[in-house]
A = this chain, B = another copy of it.
Amino acid sequence: MARNTFGVREGEKTVALPDKPDAGLYFIGRIRTPWKERKDCPKNARESDALCTVELDPRFAEGLKDVETCSHLVLLYWMDQAPRNLVLQVPGHYGSQHGTFALRSPARPNPIAMSVVKLHGIEGGKLIVSGLDCLDGTPLLDIKPYLSSTDSMPDAVVGWRKRED
C-alpha cells in the first residue's frame, strides 16, 4: 500500500477539479512545530502535547485583543502539500476505503485543516499552543475562540471508525 507522499493507492479515486478557484485566501501567518517532514508528524494531535508557536502577520496583530482570555482556540490552516482531487481514500493506518468527507485527511477539495488547541500564552504577538500535528511552516488561515456551548459534542460518534478501531 506504499505510495510516494500523496500518490493514489489501490481503492482510491480522483475526480476532475473545477477549472478555476471561486475565492482567494490570505496566509495570515505561519505555524511553527517540531516536525520538519510528514513522517515525523504525530499520527494525530492526541499523541502529542508538544508546544507549538503561531506566528501571526504583524499587520493583523491588533486582532488578538482579548484572545488571551480564551483557554482553547480553533485554528484553521492550509495543508499546502495535499492533493485536492481525491474523493475516495485508503488511509494507511486503516487499510479500508472511505469517502474524503468521512476522513480528516489533509487531502480534500479545499485542504483546510481544523484543530482545537489549548492556549498556553501569548508572547510578543506569538501564540504558544498545544494540540497540533502539522508540519513546521504550515500557513495559518484563521484563529477563532472555541465556544464550548456550540463546539463541544462529547457524545459524537464516527460509526465507521468505531467498527475498525
Residues of A at the B interface (CB closer than 8 Å) are 13, 15-18, 20-28, 44-46, 56, 59-67, 69-72, 74, 76, 78, 80, 84, 87-88, 97-104, 108-110, 112, 114-116, 131, 139, 141-161
**Cα(A99)–Cα(B17), bound, Å:** 36
A83 to chain B, nearest CB (A): 13
Q: What residue in chain B is nearest A99 (Cβ atoms)?
A: B65
Given contacts A21-B26, A64-B102, 12 further A-B pairs with CB under 8 A are: A13-B62, A23-B27, A28-B109, A60-B101, A63-B87, A67-B101, A72-B156, A76-B110, A101-B142, A102-B145, A116-B150, A131-B150
CB atoms of A109 and B21 under 8 A apart? no
Report B-chain residues with C-beta under 8 Å of the C-beta of A147: 104, 156, 158
Closest 8 CB pairs of A and B: A21-B24, A69-B159, A65-B99, A66-B102, A63-B100, A72-B156, A101-B143, A63-B87
Q: Main SS of the interface on chain A? A: mixed
Number of copies: 2
Instruction: Give the chain B neighbours of A66 by CB distance below 8 A.
Output: 98-99, 102, 159-160
CA gap between A71 and B161 in the complex, in Å: 12
Contact partners of A74 in chain B: CB under 8 A: 114
Residues of chain B lying within 8 A (CB to CB) of residue A15:
59-60, 62
| Given A102-B64, A150-B46, A25-B28 contact (CB < 8 Å) | no
Q: Which residues of B contact A99 (CB under 8 A)?
A: 62-67
